[in-house]
Structure 1
Amino acid sequence: MGKRLHPTDWFALLCGVMFIGIGWRYAAGPEPDPLVILPVLLVGLGFAGLLAIIAKLVRKR
């Protein structure tokens, strides 16, 4: 039987990596400033969403 592959969910992958990185940052040392982390989180989510949209458009072709 052949192995069925499914497309990569880039949004979920990048969000997971980002949240793991932010969690690791909080666990690794002194607590970072929330006014720095919040924009990093929002920009990261926006980038992940943009990449997911581009991947979906490329996949349709």
Structure 2
Amino acid sequence: MRPDIDRAEQRRVHRTDWMALLSGVVFIAAGIVFISEPSVSPLVMLTILVGGLGFAGLVAILAKSVRR
């Protein structure tokens, strides 16, 4: 613990990176679906991935605007 930072400021240093978190969840879910159901078309999987990444970006933008 750094002595020049008080406890309240030290707790606010780490914030959740929503884009990284949701992108990881989307890729893990797509991988699970692709492994468990290989008959799914790659075009459908690509559409789901792009839509999921777009949603993750939207959530990250909204979270950043709420923080300010």
TM band (smaller chain): 0.7 to 0.9
Question: Aligned-residue CA RMSD in angstroms?
Answer: 1.7
Cα distance between partner residues in 2 of 1:49 and 1:8 = 14
Partner of 1:15: 23
Query: What SS does the corresponding residue of 1:7 show, helix, strand or coil?
Result: coil
User: Structure 2 stretches of 5 or more lacking a match?
Assistant: 2-6
**Structure whose CA Rg is larger:** 2
Q: Which has the higher contact order (CA 8 A, sep 6+)?
A: 1
Matched, 1:49 2:57: yes
Name the residue aligned to 1:58.
Answer: 66
How far off its partner does 1:30 sit? Answer: 2.3
Unaligned runs of 5+ in 1: none
Identity rate, percent: 55
